[in-house]
Amino acid sequence: MLTDYHLHLRPDEADTPPERYFTAENVARYRAVADAAGIEELGVSEHVYRFRQGLELWDHPFWREQAQDDLDGYCEFVRGSGLRLGIECDFVPGAEERTERLLGARDFDYVVGSVHFVGERAVDHEGWDVWEGRGDADEVWRRYFAALAECARSGLFDILAHPDLVKVWGRRRPLPERDPRHHYEPAVEAIAASGIAVEVSTAGLRKPVGELYPAPVFARMCAEAGVPFALSSDAHRPEQVGFGYDQALALLAELGVGEICIFEGRERRLAPLPCSGKRESLS
Ligand SMILES: [Zn+2]
Ligand SMILES: [Zn+2]
């Protein structure tokens, strides 16, 4: 079984109204690419901050600008589309109860928990760049992984998204001097204690860093701690569905991981990954 659970039906750009992208035709385009790649299970996980209800969690200027759509309209559309219903929800420190209420009021199959911001600044968004004016990479990485640990520990989410997103810019931003394992360790401890699944995301291959999330060393630490994995591309366009899965599957095989997480109604089970023979047909 292969999955792609972290899908966006539209690009992140501003002029992407739901009526243009939340359509049966667009879903069919995602489905067609998935079918060709042998990916059985697809789920949509739109950003929580693109919905007006997201402002119940955080009143950040970027969120205010993005919060255009109705969350319940989205849920209704995805439910009728034959895709699994997910959401990518940022962990907002201090908003745990409001987050629980917002998520609990809807019948999601799974919730992907993300850390994009460290304080008021983003690790992956140029408009809110955490690196602007400050360059202590070890401090930025420490704060990012501390937030990731808190995200896992909150118990609010089923899947931890792009776990080392802080590296997204690669060499275009300062890199920590310390061994990255020093930064991963407290996060892995929190992940293992919480029972959250970790996403192997191929999105990093499309970004300046040019590698999977999580980095192989981080992934190995998770595997050794017995953490289950989910598999996603974080596609924002149909042609990105299953992108780079050969590399994700090679990593999982190297770690001795033979199963990935499947979700329904926020219940998780494990399904075997296809054997290597079948994988060769994937591009
Ligand atoms: Zn994300
Ligand atoms: Zn995403």
Distance 70 CA to ligand 2 centre (A): 18
Distance 235 CA to ligand 2 centre (A): 7
Indicate the SS3 state at residue 113.
strand
Q: Is 271 exposed, middle or buried (0-12, 13-18, 19+ CB in 10 A)?
A: middle
Can you tell me the distance from the alpha carbon of 212 to that of 199, in angstroms, rounded to the nearest whole number? 10
By residue count, the chain amounts to: 283
* Inter-axis angle of helices 216-224 and 245-254, nearest 10: 50
Distance 152 CA to ligand 1 centre (A): 15
Distance 194 CA to ligand 2 centre (A): 22
Distance 281 CA to ligand 1 centre (A): 28
Distance 234 CA to ligand 2 centre (A): 5
Res 195: pLDDT: 97
**Residue 178: C-alpha distances to residues 19, 41, 67, 115 (Å):** 47, 39, 38, 21
Pairing of strands 159-160, 197-201: parallel
Please report which ligand is nearest the Cα atom of 90: 1
Distance 27 CA to ligand 2 centre (A): 17
DSSP annotation of 12 = S
How is residue 94 written in tokens? Answer: 């201090």
Res 278: pLDDT: 47
Which residues have C-beta under 5 Å from ligand 2, the single-atom ion? Answer: 88, 234
- Give residues with Cβ within 8 angstroms of 250, minimum separation 6: none
Q: What is the DSSP string of 24-45?
A: HHHHHHHHHHHHHHT--EEEEE
Distance 4 CA to ligand 2 centre (A): 12
Q: Identify whether the C-beta of residue 233 lies closer than 8 Å to the C-beta of residue 240.
A: yes
Is this structure's pTM higher than 0.85? yes
Distance 103 CA to ligand 2 centre (A): 17
How is residue 260 written in tokens? Answer: 């990935």
Can you tell me the distance from the alpha carbon of 72 to that of 46, in angstroms, rounded to the nearest whole number? 12
Can you tell me the distance from the alpha carbon of 265 to that of 273, in angstroms, rounded to the nearest whole number? 21
Distance 13 CA to ligand 1 centre (A): 14
Res 276: pLDDT: 57
Please report which ligand is nearest the Cα atom of 116: 1
Distance 10 CA to ligand 2 centre (A): 10
Q: Find residue 260's DSSP bridge partners.
A: 271
Res 134: pLDDT: 67
**pLDDT-flagged residues of the chain (< 50):** 277-283
Res 15: pLDDT: 85
Can you tell me the distance from the alpha carbon of 144 to that of 123, in angstroms, rounded to the nearest whole number? 8
Distance 277 CA to ligand 2 centre (A): 30
- Give residues with Cβ within 8 angstroms of 29, minimum separation 6: 238
Please report which ligand is nearest the Cα atom of 124: 1
Can you tell me the distance from the alpha carbon of 37 to that of 33, in angstroms, rounded to the nearest whole number? 6
Of the candidates 176, 172, 166, the residue with the CA atom closest to the CA atom of residue 204: 166
Q: Identify whether the C-beta of residue 34 lies closer than 8 Å to the C-beta of residue 73.
A: no
Average confidence score pLDDT of the chain? 95
Res 135: pLDDT: 72
Distance 145 CA to ligand 2 centre (A): 18
Match 């204690």 to its residue by tokens.
193
